[in-house]
Amino acid sequence: MFFAGARPRTWEASPSEQRKWGEVFKACDEDNKGYLSREDFKVAVVMLFGYKPSKIEADSVMSSVNPNSSGVSLEQFLDIVRKKKEAQLYRNEIRHIFTAFDIRYRGFLTLEDFKKAFRQVAPKLPERTVLEVFREVDQDSDGHVSFRDFEYAMKYGQNEA
* 19 and 79 in a common domain: yes
Establish if 7 belongs to a structural domain.
Answer: no
Give SS3 for 120.
helix
* 76 and 27 in a common domain: yes
pTM above 0.75, yes or no: no
| pLDDT tens per residue across span 1-15 | 444 444 455 667 788
* 77 and 20 in a common domain: yes
* 84 and 22 in a common domain: yes
Average pLDDT over residues 89-116: 89
Q: How confident is the model at residue 154 (pLDDT cuts 50, 70, 90)?
A: confident
* 73 and 106 in a common domain: no
* Mean pLDDT, all residues of the chain: 86
Q: What is the CATH number of the domain that holds 150?
A: 1.10.238.10
More confident of the two residues 55 and 161: 55
Strands (DSSP E) found in 26-158:
35-36, 72-73, 108-109, 145-146
| pLDDT tens per residue across span 38-96 | 999 999 999 999 999 999 999 889 988 877 778 999 999 999 999 889 888 888 888 99
Which of 50-64, 75-89, 103-117, 147-161 is least confident?
A: 147-161
* 75 and 41 in a common domain: yes
- Give dist(CA 145, CA 157) in Å, integer: 15
Listed in sequence order, the residues at least 6 apart from 71 whose beta carbon sits closer than 8 Å to its beta carbon are 33, 35, 36, 37, 38, 40, 41, 62, 65
Establish if 96 belongs to a structural domain.
Answer: no
